[in-house]
Chain A
Amino acid sequence: MRGKIVGSLANILYRELVFQSTTLLRLGGFLKDMSDTNSSELLRKIESAFMFNKIFSTILFATIPWLYLLVFAAHTSSIAIRAVAMSSSIAVISLAFLESLNNIGVYMIRLPEVLNLYPLSEKEKLFSIIIMYSKLYGVQVTSFILSSTLVYVTVTGNPVLASINVVISILCAVYGLTIASIMSKGFY
């Protein structure tokens, strides 16, 4: 597998997905009427706006378990478990929703056509898509996993339960992404 190509393809796909999911639904047809300077400025603004969204959703994902803990203010382990379980379900739903939106973008950029045009192995295609998704959701999911683990450690003081929580959170994220992929396959 050619690592440099995988990295560069993942960057290209990420950039295009950000561009398509931000512009096509919102701005429609008048993009072409812009001058060269305006269109370059638009590309830059889109990237900044997406970065802002990413920071915002990262904070949101990290806050979910703590918000639940505040609601169920009592400090018992059973409440901590409930808090993390409920916040996990919200995170999974949010992730599934985000991924459904991005999957629309994936089809808009004609991803299968672009990938099939070049001599890329199945492994290279798969890894570039995984990296692209990691760039999209990696920070948010990691922030959620770390935050919910911190809730566990703070409330229960039990590192074993905390490690189990990490595994469960990762499984939840994978589950959410799988559901969203299946849903989007059905749409297209």
Chain B
Amino acid sequence: MSDNPLLRVTDLVIRYGSFTAVNKVSFQLAPGNVYCLLGPNGAGKTSTMKAIVGLVKPVEGSISICGKNPSTDIDAKNCIGYVAEDPILIESLTTREHIEFAATVRGVGKESEEWVNYLIKAFDFTFNLDKPVYTLSRGNKQKASLILALMHKPKILILDEPFTGLDFQSSSILKNIIEDWKRSRNGVLMSTHILEIAEKICTRVGVIISGRLIFEDGTENVKARLLGEDKFAKLLNELTSNTILENK
């Protein structure tokens, strides 16, 4: 990793009351990389992402986004596009109103109109654009979230289970967009339960179990180490059983 990282997380600790959800997690996202956070439910993946976006306040540790400190520099928020596991949208607004508001706040000008129109068409969303969000299905809310996260062409995409609820065509479009982000020397931090997708798109994996990042390596190294099919599934099984044995 010779390049300056787009995202640097150092010794991150997140607590909810007395429960430690994330414990001393550190990693970096370099340009041109897709970093996948893997782990069982409740492992701390979503909490880590929420802390990066600023939705959860860590008790310890530091986060640097595009070289900026997100707690003091609001410009850092323009460097990220976030898709939450449960889409964060304003129910009474239409997606068009969301887009207009996001464009004003983020200072996105007319030059991005073509790109936004491309996203709307690619996700087959034209028909839903003027419907209030509360009338949309889970999958369409996910598409609205994706359009909003991508519209300002952020350097870092943070995607928490982005394929949940998406139809086959939209999943394929999203995979292509992630590949484009990688090629353009931007970065993607992603969590997913679909290990086949992770195996295909990730360049680096980090495994979080019980709030601790217990494994981190390049995808190619993981593939070289494990034999046969479903390498990521094997890796996860191996690490989870080791952690359970350690805890016993």
Chain A positions near chain B (C-beta within 8 angstroms): 4-5, 8-9, 12, 15-16, 18-20, 31-32, 34, 36, 39-40, 43, 109-110, 112-114, 116-121
Contacts and interface: CB of A to CB of B under 8 A. Distances in A.
A9 B140 CA distance: 24
A118 B93 contact: no
B134 A32 contact: yes
Contact of A31 (B74, B102, B134): B134
Given A116-B55, A118-B106, A120-B74, A19 B91 contact: yes
Interface string B125-137: 0000001101100
A119 B154 CA distance: 13
Nearest to B102: A118
Given A12-B101, A31-B135, A116 B53 contact: yes
B18 interface: no
Interface string B37-57: 000000000000000011100
Contacts of A31: 134-135
A10 to B, nearest CB: 12
Nearest to A119: B77
Contacts of B54: 116
B135 A36 contact: yes
B20 interface: no
Nearest to A109: B90
Label chain B's interface by main secondary structure: helix
A40 B131 CA distance: 8
Interface in B97-154: 97, 101-102, 104-106, 131-132, 134-135
A133 to B, nearest CB: 18
27 contacts: A8-B101, A9-B101, A9-B105, A12-B97, A16-B90, A16-B92, A19-B92, A19-B134, A31-B134, A32-B134, A39-B131, A110-B88, A112-B55, A113-B84, A113-B88, A114-B90, A117-B53, A117-B77, A117-B88, A118-B77, A118-B102, A118-B106, A119-B74, A119-B75, A119-B105, A120-B74, A120-B105
B189 to A, nearest CB: 16
Label chain A's interface by main secondary structure: helix
A1 to B, nearest CB: 12
A114 B134 contact: no
Contacts of B84: 113
Given A20-B91, A109-B90, A117 B82 contact: yes
A9 to B, nearest CB: 8
B104 A5 contact: yes
B78 interface: yes
Contacts of A117: 53, 55, 77, 82, 88
Nearest to A122: B74
B104 A4 contact: yes
Contacts of B91: 16, 19-20, 109
B88 A8 contact: no
B105 A118 contact: yes
A161 B188 CA distance: 65
A12 B75 CA distance: 22
Given A5-B104, A119-B74, A119-B105, A40 B132 contact: yes
